[in-house]
């Protein structure tokens, strides 16, 4: 049997890089995509590792990425939509262009890339689309409106896709990480202070920035990206994968309490924590 071909976006660091290494170690052919070539060159260290420069928001680069893979491999068995970031700050203060950019990366670019792989998967009668969401797609926190909105949207889009593509043998799966040791937190924290570090939301922003430092610091709850990579691989290999995989344990616990608590009580604990 021919080796399976995997495309991973946001493969330059964090979850994307950990997933790429995991699949390569298991004998898959892996194409990693990101915007920075220097951060993708690690893929050259593996026999079946390849990289493609791509900004997921650019149509020409998306088309080139898929065409390049299909020209060489003739198929894409698994698409892992991992690229994303957090545009944090008060809804009132985040510029509209930044809010739109958040959706361009976290939702629209992802959906357009996905649309390019669906026909070849449908032709082959199989395929897996694994979307890296977040527990932020099920919960909310102050000063995270646009990020949460993008992930809530991704959850809904994925649920619809899962049912639309079922009859073609294509499985759509969501991964919902909690706090993970990646550069995501640094980007989110910088956006938070940039957008709301002064003015009426300054007190909230400063408190949340401190909490981020605690969560993602040396003694925080943030887990190694390998935990997520293992969940992604499990979803790719399972004969009957679940619709959602929440990782690590604290993510499952948070989602459980969100399910258990009424909105008013959840709001109370969220505002107390942040």
Task: Give the pLDDT confidence score for residue 106 in this predicted structure.
Answer: 98
Residue 206's pLDDT is 86
Which superfamily is assigned to 5-273 in CATH?
Answer: NAD(P)-binding Rossmann-like Domain (3.40.50.720)
The distance of Cα 227 from the centroid of its chain, to the nearest Å, equals 14
Say what the pLDDT of residue 96 is: 96
| pLDDT reported for residue 144 | 93
Torsion of CA 52, 58, 64, 65, to 10 degrees: 40
Beta-carbon count within 10 A of 196 CB: 26
Per-residue pLDDT of the chain (274 residues; tens, 9 = 90+): 689 999 999 999 999 999 999 999 999 999 999 999 999 999 999 999 999 999 999 999 999 999 999 999 999 999 999 999 988 899 999 999 999 999 999 999 999 999 999 999 999 999 999 999 999 999 999 999 999 999 999 999 999 999 999 999 999 999 999 999 887 777 777 888 888 888 899 998 888 888 888 888 778 888 999 999 999 999 999 999 999 999 999 999 999 999 999 999 999 988 877 6
- Provide the pLDDT for residue 126: 97
Supply the pTM of this predicted model. Answer: 0.94
Question: Looking at the annotation, which residues are catalytic?
Answer: 147
pLDDT of residue 129: 98
């Amino acid at each position: 049997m021919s080796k399976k071909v995997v495309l991973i976006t946001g493969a330059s660091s964090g979850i994307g890089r950990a997933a790429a290494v995991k699949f390569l170690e298991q004998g898959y052919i892996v194409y990693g995509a990101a915007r920075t070539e220097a951060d993708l060159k690690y893929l050259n260290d593996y026999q079946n590792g390849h990289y493609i420069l791509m900004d997921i928001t650019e149509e020409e680069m998306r088309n080139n990425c898929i065409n390049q893979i299909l020209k060489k491999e003739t198929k894409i068995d698994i698409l892992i939509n991992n690229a994303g970031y957090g545009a944090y700050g008060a809804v009132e203060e985040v510029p509209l262009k930044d809010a739109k950019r958040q959706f361009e990366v976290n939702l629209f670019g992802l959906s357009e890339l996905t649309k390019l792989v669906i026909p070849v998967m449908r032709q082959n009668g199989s395929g897996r689309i694994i979307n890296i969401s977040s527990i932020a797609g099920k919960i909310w926190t102050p000063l995270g409106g646009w990020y949460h909105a993008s992930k809530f949207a991704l959850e809904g889009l994925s649920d619809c896709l899962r049912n639309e593509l079922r009859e073609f043998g294509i499985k759509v799966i969501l991964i919902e990480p909690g706090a993970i040791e990646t550069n995501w937190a640094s980007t989110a924290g910088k956006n938070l202070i940039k957008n709301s570090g002064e003015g009426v939301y300054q007190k909230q922003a400063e408190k949340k920035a401190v909490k981020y430092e605690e969560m993602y610091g040396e003694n925080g709850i943030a887990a190694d990206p390998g935990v997520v990579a293992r969940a992604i691989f499990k979803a790719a290999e399972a004969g009957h994968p679940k619709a959602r995989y929440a990782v690590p344990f604290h993510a499952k616990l948070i989602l459980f309490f969100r399910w258990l608590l009424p909105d008013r009580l959840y709001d109370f604990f969220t505002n107390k924590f942040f």
